[in-house]
Chains A and B, each alone.
Chain A
Amino acid sequence: MAETSRLAGTKRGRGDEEIGADSNSNADSDPRQALGLENNLTFSDTLVALQMMRSQFPSVEKVTIQPFILQSQLYSSVKDRTQVDRDLESLKKEKVLRVFKLSTGQDDHAIMFMEDYLKQMASSVKRFEKEKQHDLEVFEWFKTYVMESKLDVCIAHQELCSLLSHGGEVTDRHVTLLISAGLLTRQLIDPNMYWFAIPNIGSILKGLSQGRKELLSLLNRRKYKEMPLAPLEKKRLRLSPLDMRFHLRDLIGSGHLKSLQTPAGIIVRVAKD
């Protein structure tokens, strides 16, 4: 089976230069490079891959959101998935980044660098401050006590209260404030557990799931369910604010699409099973 592994695809278009793995700061300066997946994505390091993809995060007009990376995108750009998982685990412990479980799909996770998340949190808190509500000190407590010590994707109510109480008296109003700010979400299966969440991300997630469906249906409608990468990348998705490259990486990493190396370039095909 002549398929390249979806992980390390040398997605190089014709005539494009190869970008080294460390020139992530220049990635968007050249407009041609900013468009394409034609970069060489065989990163040996998870952190470098993360920083590269962070810099390639598309700019969304309506919502101000800091860059985040989906875990499936990471799998498609680093060769060894087990190593990715382990690197993520150690980066989580070092508090360089945080992982969030998304509500789109069974196993979707988003990775955000810590400074980006704090910025996002700050902008969401500012919105609350404008409305002049009291009890705003809970956000400070959250940042200082909960974020530092709880590194998982979810937290139990009991533990949340006990961690917040390091700052002061905790009431239910405080927890409600956190939920309405978007920092926590209740779990559907268990009323006592909360997921950590990225505030203001709702419209993006909607766009994510719709964009995935649109891209898959685009390829499924074709006769042989495949398309060369170069023209595919130039298409724009109608329903998603995120660009095609974001979705391609995500779907290749989660196994819905496969990329194959052919004499005519790279071809993206819907995976059969």
Chain B
Amino acid sequence: MRGRRCGRKSGTGKQVLYSPFLWSDVSAPAASPLSSSPTARRSSAPTTAPSTPFSGIKAAVMFINATAGLAGIWWATINAAKMHVDLTEGRYLLSGASDGSAAVYDIQHTTDYDGGLIAKHKNLFVVDKQHNHGHKFAISTAIWYPIDTGLFITGSFDHHVKVWDTNMIQVVMDFKMPGKVYGTAMSSIATAHMLIATGSADVQVRLCDIASGAFTHTLSGHRDGVMSLEWSTSSEWILMTGGCDGAIRFWDIRRAGCFCVLDQSRSQLGRRPPFSQGTPKRVLEDFIASTVSTGKSSFEKTPVSQKRMPVGNGKKQLTTSRKNQNVSGGPSTQRLHPGMSSSHNRATAHYGAVTGLRATSDGMYLLSSGSDSRLRLWDIESGCNTLVNFEAMRLQTSKAIQLAAFQDSSLVFVPSMASVKAYDMWSGTNLGTFRGHYELVNCCYFNLQDQELYTGSNDRQILVWSPSIPAVTVMEEDDKKGQTLSTDRDNWSD
């Protein structure tokens, strides 16, 4: 399966602005030329209270469908393909589009209002095909450098991954991939490396190093292109990739080969297997069985490599003796490196391609969406499918989608055709549907600080969804007549 772009609409490109402002200090909003007057972030809701409990989503979604729960719309001449909000401040939204342009928006300052209620944001700058180093084809992925907003990384179908300097709006580094780039990821908890993991139409995952400007190593094991990548949120060395062959592999980048392949038929009932069942037999058995054994020597190797595995897998049993007998004489007898033998493991996590991956913030669970229109929740520690059934949804099958998970309220947001559906993570019930886009929704991003959901779609819009005003506040505001705009009290400067 090769990603095909459907509904490719390129904009007229009339909103290109290379505003020559500089971020002298990213953290001081006063330095930005846009914050000339204190404008409200949202016109119809109080802007205080980051402690607005998002568990009030149940009330919020009903409002969203009825009235404008839309807090803001960004008018753009793009089909938003992927987006990312920077992690340091939660202020700048980077989005990449299918006409090869990437734009950055300031999500805390609106530029004007549409009809007095809906806030609109214009982009701060756009880099598109006319830029002399811009991408030539659609951008499939856009992420911020996790440490600060000085750099951002875009990957595109023109086989290039480019690292941009935000202030200068120039390309500082360019990596050429052997195939169309489907996804990139950088670890947000990394302190010892600054590697960009890139997945492309080629079967190998490549790690690009910003520090040296070269590829450090490649990870092979997938049998088809790699569509989605996600770094582990608990370890800076673990990378999870989902491929077009339907497999999800876990890699420890310090050693060769992947140490785990998720298999959808291995399941556990509930979040954790009961302790009495003993430690689950991991995929070890599979790779031992599939390692064509020449004799006892290759089995002696495996216990040694076991001990070098990362911490979480230390307690897995080796049931070598049973499997040894079962492996009847197969074809050729090649001794494989124990790490590479997992390439024989053909377990699939989905019946189609894996289109999206998202790990929960505590690093214990992984959500994956596939082109078989299923969403699965995996327990990372045991490598099992937790069998949570997310009610029937139809997902786009031809390109990667971006999921969002919010663990504190156990919410999962999934772009499903022209709407975004919110599910409860542990029971799979559909809590609500966000309908506002006119075309296929490609990406959604949940901003924890502001508790807003950004969704981008093929209809060239990025919408912001926020919880609706609690009823109590509405009554209080009735007293103050005529005051529809409330000021953002945090936005002040000397």
Mutual binders A and B: yes
| Residues of chain A having any CB pair with chain B under 8 Å | 1, 75, 80-82, 84-86, 89-90, 101, 106-107, 152-154, 156, 158-159, 161-163, 165, 189-190, 192-193, 253-255, 273
Q: Is the CB of B269 within 8 A of A158?
A: no
| Residue among B290, B387, B417, B418 making CB contact with A85, cutoff 8 Å | B387
The answer to whether A162 and B418 touch across the interface, beta carbons within 8 angstroms, is no
C-beta contact mask, B246-282 vs A, less than 8 Å → 1, else 0?
Answer: 0000000000000000000101011000000000000
13 more A-B contacts (CB under 8 A) besides A193-B346, A254-B392? A75-B389, A80-B427, A82-B387, A82-B388, A82-B428, A84-B389, A86-B387, A89-B267, A90-B269, A107-B372, A107-B373, A255-B393, A273-B394
> Which residues of chain A are within 8 angstroms of B352 by Cβ–Cβ distance?
106
Q: Give A165 to B373 CA distance when docked, in angstroms.
A: 38
In the bound complex, CA of A65 to CA of B346 (Å): 33
Determine how close the nearest CB of chain A comes to the CB of B268; give it in whole angstroms.
Answer: 9
B36 at the A/B interface (Cβ < 8 Å)? no
Could you say which residues of chain B place their CB within 8 Å of the CB of A190? 346
Contacting pair B346 A81 (CB below 8 A): no
Is B125 among interface residues, defined by CB-CB distance under 8 A?
A: no
A82 and B374 in contact, given A158-B327, A161-B328, A162-B328 (Cβ under 8 angstroms) = no
A84 CA / B388 CA spacing, docked (Å):
10
Residues of B within 8 A of A80 (CB): 427
Residue B326 is within 8 A (CB to CB) of chain A in the complex? yes
Q: Are A106 and B428 in contact (CB under 8 A)?
A: no
Contact status B416-A158, CB under 8 Å: no
Interface string of B282-297 (1 = CB under 8 A from A): 0000000110000000
Whether a CB of chain A sits under 8 angstroms from the CB of B330 is: yes
Q: Within 8 Å of chain A (Cβ to Cβ): is B123?
A: no
Query: Chain A nearest CB: distance from B210 CB in Å?
Result: 37
Name the distance in Å between B274's Cβ and chain A's nearest Cβ: 12
Q: Does B113 contact A (CB under 8 A)?
A: no
Q: Which residue of A lies closest to B62 (CB)?
A: A1
Contact partner of B428 (CB less than 8 A), chosen from A81, A89, A107, is A81
B381 interfacial by beta-carbon distance below 8 Å: no
Which B residues touch A189, using CB under 8 A? 245
A273 touches B418 (CB 8 A): yes
How far is B327's CA from A152's CA once the two chains are assembled, in angstroms? 19
> What residues on B are CB-neighbors of A85 within 8 Å?
387-389
Give the chain A neighbours of B374 by CB distance below 8 A.
Answer: 107
Nearest to B427 among chain A residues (CB) is A82
Residues from chain A with a CB closer than 8 A to the CB of B428 are: 81-82
Knowing A86-B387, A190-B346, the reply to whether A273 touches B427 (Cβ < 8 A) is no
Q: Are A273 and B351 in contact (CB under 8 A)?
A: no
Cβ A159 vs Cβ B326 within 8 A: yes
For the complex formed, measure the closest distance between the CB of A168 and the CB atoms of chain B, giving whole angstroms.
13
Q: In the complex, A254→B372 CA distance in Å? A: 12
A-B pairs with beta carbons under 8 Å apart, 25 shown: A1-B65, A75-B392, A81-B389, A82-B387, A82-B389, A82-B427, A85-B387, A85-B388, A85-B389, A86-B269, A86-B270, A89-B267, A89-B269, A90-B269, A106-B351, A107-B351, A107-B373, A152-B265, A153-B265, A156-B346, A158-B330, A162-B328, A192-B346, A193-B346, A273-B394
Q: Which residues from A are CB-within-8-Å of B392? A: 75, 253-255
Judging by beta carbons under 8 Å apart, are A89 and B387 in contact? yes
Closest to B388 in A: A82
Instruction: Decide if B419 is an interface residue (CB 8 Å cutoff).
Output: yes
Residues of B close to A75: CB separation below 8 A: 389, 392
Does B328 contact A165, Cβ atoms closer than 8 Å? yes
B263–chain A nearest beta-carbon distance, Å: 9
Which of A154, A162, A255 is B394 in contact with, Cβ under 8 Å?
A: A255
B386 to chain A, nearest CB (A): 9
Which residues of the other chain, A, contact B387 by a CB distance below 8 angstroms? 82, 85-86, 89
Q: What is the 8 Å Cβ interface bit string for chain B, positions 364-379, against chain A (1 contact, 0 not)? A: 0000000111100000
Q: Note all chain B residues with C-beta closer than 8 A to A152.
A: 265
A254 / chain B contacts, CB cutoff of 8 Å: 392
Contact in complex: A158, B388 (CB < 8 Å): no
CA distance A75 to B390 in the complex (A): 11
Please, how many angstroms separate the alpha-carbon atoms of A107 and B394 in the complex? 12
Contacts of B388 in A (CB 8 A): 82, 85
Most buried by B among A107, A154, A163, A192: A107
Which has the most chain B C-beta neighbours within 10 Å: A80, A86, A192?
A86
Q: Give Cα A65 to B438, complex, Å.
A: 46
Whether, in the assembled complex, B112 has its beta carbon less than 8 Å from a beta carbon of chain A, the answer is: no
Q: Does B408 contact A (CB under 8 A)?
A: no
Please determine whether A81 and B416 come into contact, CB atoms closer than 8 angstroms.
no
B427: A residues at CB distance < 8 A: 80, 82
Given contacts A89-B387, A90-B269, contact A273 B328 (CB under 8 A): no
Q: Are A106 and B373 in contact (CB under 8 A)?
A: yes
| Complex: chain A residue closest to B417, CB-CB | A273
| Complex contacts, B394 vs chain A, CB 8 Å | 255, 273
Chain A residues with CB below 8 A from B289, complex form = 158-159
CB neighbours (8 Å) of B328 from chain A are 158, 161-162, 165
Distance to closest chain A CB from B459 (angstroms): 14
Q: Does B391 contact A (CB under 8 A)?
A: yes
- Least distance between A251 CB and chain B CB atoms (Å): 10
Which residues of chain B (424-439) have a CB below 8 Å from chain A? 427-428
How far apart are the CA atoms of A190 and B348 in the complex, in Å? 12
Across-interface contacts of A84 in B (CB, < 8 A): 389
